[in-house]
Structure 1
Amino acid sequence: MNIIDISQVLHNNIPVWPGDTTFSFELSWTKEASGSVNVGKIEMSAHTGTHIDAPFHFDNDGKKVIELDLELYIGPALVVEKKNIQMLSPEHFNDVNFEGVSRILIKTESWIERSEFPTSITALSPDLAPFLAKKGIKLIGVDVPSVDVLDSKELPAHHSLLENDIHILEGIVLDSVKEGIYELVALPLPIKEADGSPVRAVLIER
């Protein structure tokens, strides 16, 4: 079994959304001070690095992380490459065979330098969600921080995906991943009131 880690590494210099909580890890107890153990303390945004968006993130009436079906985040996933495209629309997926999968992961390579927050990314057009829903897609993953353009306040892609019952995984790392079908595992933490959650996302080669 070959496991491919598609998660961003969390560290104190990981870029976050401008103005959001920066990531911090430090030892609150050291083995020397406590006499027995090291104990770490983490401060972070729920949307740091590789993470899922719960509908509550952009809809006050939407489900929170604890209410989401875990089966969304485990199972066959299709990785497709869609590079050098500013806005992904249905026409860009006419060549894709969706048979046997309900999860799609899109390799855009529009965020190359992950030591810095991007200034522009490949985004999804709102009309892509109903197209994917008709193909049976329930989860979409992207290798960028958002499914919408970075300066969007209306978040049309987020809302269109919600309306079509498609859930969101953002910030995955697909640099060395080839197109094909894999087993995805990207479980969110059981945070009761959360609008999102970091995940350890991996692909298992069949």
Structure 2
Amino acid sequence: MRTIWDISPPVSDRSPVFPGDTAYQQRWTATLDTHCPVNVAEIRLSTHLGAHADAPLHYDPHGPSAGHMALEPFLGPCRVIHARHGRPLIEPADLLPHLSNCPPRILVSTTAKAKYDAWSDHFTAFAPSSLQLLADQGIQLVGIDTPSVDPASSKTLESHQVLRHHAMRVLENLVLDEIAPGDYELIALPLALIQADASPVRAILRSLD
């Protein structure tokens, strides 16, 4: 049996969201008792809560929605790279030593302890030049263990725009605390949310043998 690592944070009413975004809310529309055979819940949440895949519609008014994205980028060999330096941006120099014979998916671990129970504006994002480097290497998907590939204060979303220009896919809010650098199989499929700008995913890694 191949080893599986769950790289998704828990989702609950404690899950942090970008200030002003929709927090997790749940109510029971049916409860199991002598008159009802099931529990049924209604949930309300941001499409960017927890581990999620941004769709191009998030940063491109003419981009495809989550439900119209091809699934192939979210499934297959990937490489985990550690850039746990605590600086605001992942620079090309952080990635270049790790790109030899690289699979088409890159996940970057920026910290030994992902923050998934409180919001903070202080997290590591990608320098646009780093995503351009990965695009030039033929990378189809990038992932990060922080809320965004852009800094929280960004109004231009330059890194997202590099993704848009090269039709790259992205995963955010992963949990890579226990994942050693190296190559794995990634499975992180978005839901078929036809009108949505992003989708939650249950992201996992599997050992290659």
Q: TM-score range by the shorter chain?
A: over 0.9
C-alpha displacement of 1:106: 0.2
- What residue is the counterpart of 1:44 in the other structure? 45
Percent identity among equivalent residues? 36
CA distance 1:34–1:173, change in 2 (3 Å): farther
Conserved 8 A contact 1:73-1:185: yes
Q: Aligned partners of 2:151 and 2:170: how far apart in 1? A: 15
TM-score of the superposed pair, with normalisation by structure 2: 0.94
- What residue is the counterpart of 1:141 in the other structure? 143
Conserved 8 A contact 2:60-2:164: no
Q: Aligned partners of 1:187 and 1:154: how far apart in 2? A: 27
Q: Which one-letter code corresponds to 1:172 in the other structure? A: L
Q: Which moved more, 1:118-127 or 1:191-200?
A: 118-127
Number of residue equivalences: 206
C-alpha displacement of 1:186: 0.3
1:82 matches 2:49? no
Conserved 8 A contact 1:111-1:118: no
- What residue is the counterpart of 1:170 in the other structure? 172
Q: Aligned partners of 2:12 and 2:174: how far apart in 1? A: 16
- Give deviations 1:108-147, integer Å, cap 9, x for gaps: 0186442111221111111122211121101000000000
Q: Aligned partners of 1:129 and 1:73: how far apart in 2? A: 17
Q: Which one-letter code corresponds to 1:47 in the other structure? A: H
C-alpha displacement of 1:38: 0.7
Q: CA RMSD in A?
A: 1.4
TM-score of the superposed pair, with normalisation by structure 1: 0.95
Q: Aligned partners of 1:11 and 1:157: how far apart in 2? A: 29
C-alpha displacement of 1:189: 0.5
- Give deviations 1:47-100, integer Å, cap 9, x for gaps: 001001001101101111122110010000100100123211212222113415
SS at match of 1:153: coil
Q: Which moved more, 1:29-38 or 1:146-155?
A: 29-38
CA distance 1:193–1:131, change in 2 (3 Å): same
Q: Aligned partners of 1:68 and 1:34: how far apart in 2? A: 42
Q: Aligned partners of 2:35 and 2:150: how far apart in 1? A: 46
Q: Aligned partners of 2:120 and 2:60: how far apart in 1? A: 25
SS at match of 1:94: helix
CA distance 1:111–1:4, change in 2 (3 Å): closer
Q: Aligned partners of 1:98 and 1:186: how far apart in 2? A: 24
Q: Which one-letter code corresponds to 1:63 in the other structure? A: P
Please list every run of 5 or more consecutive structure 1 residues that lacks an aligned counterpart in the other structure.
none
1:190 matches 2:195? no
SS at match of 2:33: helix
SS at match of 1:66: helix
